[in-house]
Chains A and B, each alone.
Chain A
Amino acid sequence: MSSVAPAAGGVGVLPRRKFELVLAGMPRRRAAEKRFRLYGQIAIGLGLAFLVILFASIILNGYTAFWQTHIRLDVTLDAARIDPQGNRDPEALRRADYNELIRDQLRAMFPDVSGRRDRLALYGLVSNGASFDLRDRVLANPELVGQKIALWVPADDDIDMLMKGNVDRSVPESDRRLKDNQLAWVDKLAAEGRLQQRFNADFFTRGDSRDAELAGIWGAAVGSLLTLMVTLALSFPLGVAAAVYLEEFAPRNRWTDLIEVNINNLAAVPSIVFGLLGLAVFINFFGLPRSAPLVGGLVLTLMTLPTIIIASRAALKSVPPSIREGALGIGASPMQVMIYHVVPLALPGMLTGTIIGMAQALGETAPLLMIGMVAFIADIPKGIFDPATALPVQIYLWADSPERAFVERTSAAIIVLLAFLAVMNAVAVVLRRRFERRW
């Protein structure tokens, strides 16, 4: 650096001083290069770390919801109380007071509990749904009347949380949802082997409920399925038809430009705006029912249409012109070329785009909130006109519930939703890998 050698005279030869300057700068530049690289690695690491944290926290919070604490009760199905006439009439069996039977059993197990408040606390150990389980069991098998049966009933969600270790016993009693006497009863039940973690089938077969231990995702899953069926039935034909027209038949004029600008704009419209549109047009103007999968499907159709159109156009574009020319050459009309040659060849690409659009629709919450699919709906929807909710909306609803047990349920519902999304995207990837032809 301190060299003062005179510059060599030749044309095109770097003066020695400058060359040394460049050389001297190299370590610094290499270090900068390394740092830059490191920044890149850190950025990717951060992105992946976020992904891992997201998945880990959801799974760790949620996997326990697939098990539910059950309490074993030995219920005596007293014939005189369930079926006073003795004719096993289903109507009489349905009307019997099973709740009282369960309460009797609980009192018999803890005979020293007295006082109204303590008794209510005792009854609270067992889920509200226990009597319905018992009733269903008796209705399915009327011979049980008069016998003493061992019945596993779901425990209350607080007990469930206690057994899963989510309740801190060291907190002062006044700050706990479970009081000391309840803890003592639970410990006694556990010591007798009457508490067990069983597979939570209710979670997959029931609709929504205010009681966390009875809440399931089946209602929401059916709602999502119906909504997606409407979406698929409308958006695939519409999207493919629009793509075929724009890609193959549309003349290049202002009208076509207007359509294309609109499609590209709609792809960028926030999804909640589609909900506003659905509310104004489908519900208020056409008078379609609120909260119905039909309206949800219509709204999601409009939302996914740009995705499908754009993907279908790309698929059509990738069919080589030689196919078209060959078909035209042997006398097919342009429409015949399209229907018999180009569209079948582009179909895998179109289907891939459609599945990706469906996956997008499955995960969408905001537009469904606007059209009333956010209601509390305990029944399983039976058709596209019934009130329903959808999986992401169910997650949204549960996430608002204050009970600790709903945190677990929400995470479990998210796991199910992500599993559906993963399957759909995997199908799209497989479809693309297997059927997409490269020309």
Chain B
Amino acid sequence: MQPSVLVLVLLLLSSAAYYAGRKRAFTVAQGRLRNLQSLPAYYGLYTAIWCGLPALLLLAAWVSLEHTIITNAVVAGLPEEIRQLGPDRLNLIVNDIKNIVQGNIVSRAPDAVMDAAAGRYRSLLAISHAAMFVVALALAIGAAAFTLTRIKPKQRARNAVETIILALLIACSTIAILTTVGIVLSVLFESIRFFQAVPVTDFLFGLDWSPQIALRADQAGSSGAFGAVPIFAGTFMITLIAMAVAVPIGLMSAIYLSEYATRQVRAVAKPLLEILAGIPTVVYGFFAALIVAPFLRDTGGMFGLGIASESALAAGLVMGIMIIPFVSSLSDDVMNAVPQAMRDGAYGMGATQSGNHPPGDLPGGTARHRRCDPARGVAGDRRDHDRRDGGRPRRQPHREPIRGGHHRDGADRHAADRRPGVRQSQDPRGVRAGVGAVRGDAGPERDRPLHRAQVPGAV
């Protein structure tokens, strides 16, 4: 009996348990629903969960553990001289036994000991599966029967079901923590093993990278060296080149798109630029190797520079292209976050639209001056659409042009900008603030990761 079949059987059983539980609820209520504490479906769900969940958990534990246990049992049954072998050799033998069991190609000629061990493995596996089948089914049916007998009109079935669902939700949300722990542990243990063989100082400060370890002392690879400085240097160099490409292009295009471009240009150019972030990295690699590197080599050759095909220049250039959309979206965000008051103040001091960009405002984003630039007159209020969703009209009270002398307070507008999807003007502020406070999401910074994470796929 395969575990997958058993899963199917358990699912069928628990859906049967659902109907049984619901029917039982009707029976104990003597046909009058208002006698029941919860809706009948909750009694059904309660039974189904108790029928399916423990059995499935048991199944998962069983399947993940059985191979280890069986392997140990088989190894314990091997002749003494085989068990005396080192762990590496023993591992090979165990692999061969498993291959025989699965009918794969085996690395050695079959012999009687191996065949016997494989036969033992097979029979143990069959016993294990049979036992699992019996135990899981017994657990499922027993739990369902027990739950059915416990169903009473005053039982709080809905609360019980909801508690279980909540527990499942919590379990799902802890996967993030488990993943982090898994990453840290998996990297940590291998690193510790590595640093036992290679001193940390050699790795961090060594200048020679030739990662090879000889199996025997007299082999060619015995001169392995693990100095990571060349790797760090290469990474930093590529990063620097990439930044040199992406920062000017990304920053300037963000400034242009948010300050100068017409709505039409913005609606076309911004998604087009974001396509760059959606292209798989392997495509960039191929592009670098096929187009950019030969181009650089030939161009360099014309000027008498020997540029290798594997140069950091090609890699950095292409990586720079790849991160243009990241730089420009982030810059766009930061610029949107600058309060309008600051821009208006700059205009009041007589700044032109661009005049004070580089020195004055870049630390906090750039000034946004268009509305009172005397050279351009009063521009249409292009900021009235949401930057985040590509130019959808933003429903917020129309801001007066600065000419009129009073405009919305910058900080207020800033807050409105930062809540994607929630339209301030539509709900009464008190309600919104109250719920926000209860759910604890009043802070605008909780929106930030969304935008960044959405960029890669934002084709």
Contacts and interface: CB of A to CB of B under 8 A. Distances in A.
Partners in one complex: yes
Interface of A: 22, 29-30, 32-33, 36-37, 39-44, 46-48, 50-51, 53-54, 57-58, 61, 237-238, 241-242, 244-250, 252, 258-259, 262-267, 269, 273-274, 276-277, 279-281, 286-287, 302, 305-307, 309-311, 313-314, 317-318, 320-322, 324, 333, 335, 353, 356-357, 359-360, 362-366, 392-393, 395-396, 399, 407, 410-411, 414, 417-418, 421-422, 425, 428, 438-439
Given A241-B172, A356-B458, A395 B286 contact: yes
B286 A365 contact: no
Interface residues of B, number: 88
Contact of B169 (A242, A263, A307, A324): A242
A364 B452 CA distance: 18
Interface in B65-89: 67-68
Central interface residue in B173, B269, B290, by most chain A CB within 10 Å: B173
B174 A399 contact: no
A363 to B, nearest CB: 3
B182 interface: yes
Q: Majority SS of interface residues in chain B?
A: helix
Contacts of B350: 22
Contacts of B297: none
Nearest to A264: B449
Contact of A242 (B172, B283, B441): B172
Contacts of A353: 454
Interface string B271-291: 011011011111111110111
A32 B354 contact: yes
Given A242-B173, A262-B179, 10 more contacts: A43-B248, A43-B250, A245-B173, A258-B177, A259-B176, A267-B449, A280-B185, A307-B454, A399-B285, A417-B283
Central interface residue in A42, A267, A321, A324, by most chain B CB within 10 Å: A321
Contacts of A262: 176-177, 179-180
A242 B175 contact: yes
B201 interface: no
Contact of B454 (A30, A276, A311): A311
Q: Majority SS of interface residues in chain A?
A: helix
Closest 6 pairs (CB-CB, A-B): A40-B256, A363-B280, A318-B421, A280-B186, A356-B457, A43-B252
A57 B291 CA distance: 8
A287 B66 CA distance: 11
Given A241-B172, A392-B282, A317 B422 contact: yes
B176 A61 contact: no
Nearest to A56: B291
Interface string B14-43: 000000000000000000000000000000
Interface in B401-459: 420-423, 426-427, 431-432, 435, 439-441, 447, 449-450, 452-454, 456-459
Given A363-B279, A364-B280, A392-B280, A241 B422 contact: no
Given A280-B182, A399-B285, A421-B459, A311 B450 contact: yes
Contacts of B456: 307, 356, 360
B158 interface: yes
B255 interface: yes
A318 B420 contact: yes
Contact of A318 (B172, B248, B422, B453): B422
B11 interface: no
Given A51-B275, A317-B422, A418-B279, A252 B352 contact: no
